Structure 1
Amino acid sequence: MRVVTMATEAAKGAGSLVGIRRGTEEPRYDVHDRVRGLEVRRYGPRIAAETTVTADEERARDTGFRRLAGYIFGSNDNKSKIAMTAPVSQSGGPGNSSVVRFYMPSRWTMPTLPTPMDRSVELVEVPSETLAVLRFTGDRGRGAVAERSAELLRKLEGTAWTATGPPVAWFYDPPWTVPFRRRNEVAVPVAPR
């Protein structure tokens, strides 16, 4: 049995190298519009584990990822393991900080989720929202995310949609995934004009 589990994990790891994401849950959404290479998506309510990290974007992402991974891998009040989902979300926080989020699998509710042992990790309810999303591959460093966020906002100009908040970055693949196979997105909350 252990050999089968190890083989399965090795196959997942090899698949992630080239951007194959089998069995990783993503939040469900409906596409309301497609305009200028963007998708306007409607997401239902969901739950996230999040942490705020004061550091440059890439260090904040790494630190936040480790804290949140600790929570889902058992650093919680009943040592529960929680399945990894995609994407990992990163948005600007106050000052020189970032808010990093993991969305919880849909089977969990606030009452059933275990309490994080790390006090810098908290569980939050994310309300339904409509987002304009731009997908991209390759580099996901600070400059690339800033460039794609600006592109997203430019593409919204003159459409039926207006941004109602700042952009957020979503990363679907681990850092070792071949760059041209990475799925990255920038998203911004929108409302009809």
Structure 2
Amino acid sequence: MHNLRKYLAVAVISLVSAGEALAIEEPAFHLIAQFNDIEIRQYPPLIVAETIVVGDMATASNAGFRLIANYIFGNNKSVDGVADQPSQTIAMTAPVTVERVNLTEQWRVQFVMPRAYTMSRLPHPVNEAVLLREVPAKRYAVLVFDWFAGEEKAEEKARDLFAWIASKNLHAIAPFQLARYNPPWTLPFFRRNEILIEIE
């Protein structure tokens, strides 16, 4: 009975977390086509906060998340450079993405900034390891999956998506990105993950 209560408590927390995740802003996109668990999406220009971290995917994801979270939760300075102006808190968005940089042990971790902001309105990061960057409009093939999304699983799903892209005579033009939408305490069957590969 104790174990059942414990399981139900965890399930309720995960359901609440899933509901909260639905309320978090996500990047808008135009769905061009859908093939079961694979989608073709067109994304508009976006602004991202990003950092590059060395290590394996798990280590880099955690370290990168902390650096960018620190920026959006107030470790920033005003746009006009006024020293005594208070820092800003920027709303959390989903997903958090990670991608390997040039086949090295470096990983680029990104948060998309809320749509209400422009580059001129975003506060500047205090930590120079965090950069703000405008990303142009892009088209992606996207594979959606649940459960845990570690490095091995991400690479497996990416191989599947690269193969699918080739089978449709499409052309991949960038490495894969792993996008995670949920907090770490979410039960695996409630998790939403995506592999994104930019295509022509």
Percent identity of equivalent pairs: 36
Partner of 1:98: 107
Structure 2 distance, partners of 1:108, 1:73, is 15
Question: What TM-score results when the alignment is normalised by the length of structure 1?
Answer: 0.88
From 177, 183, 188, the counterpart of 2:192: 183
Amino acid across the alignment from 1:32: I
Question: What TM-score results when the alignment is normalised by the length of structure 2?
Answer: 0.85
Amino acid across the alignment from 1:163: A
Count of residue pairs the alignment pairs up: 179
Q: Which runs of 4+ in 1 moved over 3 A?
A: 13-18
Determine helix, strand or coil for the equivalent of 2:159.
helix
Indicate if the aligned counterparts of 1:40 and 1:130 stay in contact, CA closer than 8 A.
yes
What do you get for the CA RMSD once the two structures are aligned?
1.6
Indicate if the aligned counterparts of 2:162 and 2:172 stay in contact, CA closer than 8 A.
yes
Mean alpha-carbon deviation: is it higher for 18-27 or for 181-190? 18-27
Structure 2 distance, partners of 1:17, 1:124, is 33
Partner of 1:60: 60
Partner of 1:172: 181
- What per-residue deviation string (whole Å, max 9, x for no partner) do you get for residues 141-180 of structure 1? 1111111111111122221522111111000001111011
Partner of 2:13: 14
Question: Which has more radius of gyration?
Answer: 2
Unpaired stretches in structure 2, ≥5 consecutive residues:
1-11, 79-86
Partner of 1:50: 50
- What per-residue deviation string (whole Å, max 9, x for no partner) do you get for residues 28-69 of structure 1? 001112236310000000100000001111000000000000
Indicate if the aligned counterparts of 2:37 and 2:145 stay in contact, CA closer than 8 A.
no
Unpaired stretches in structure 1, ≥5 consecutive residues:
1-12
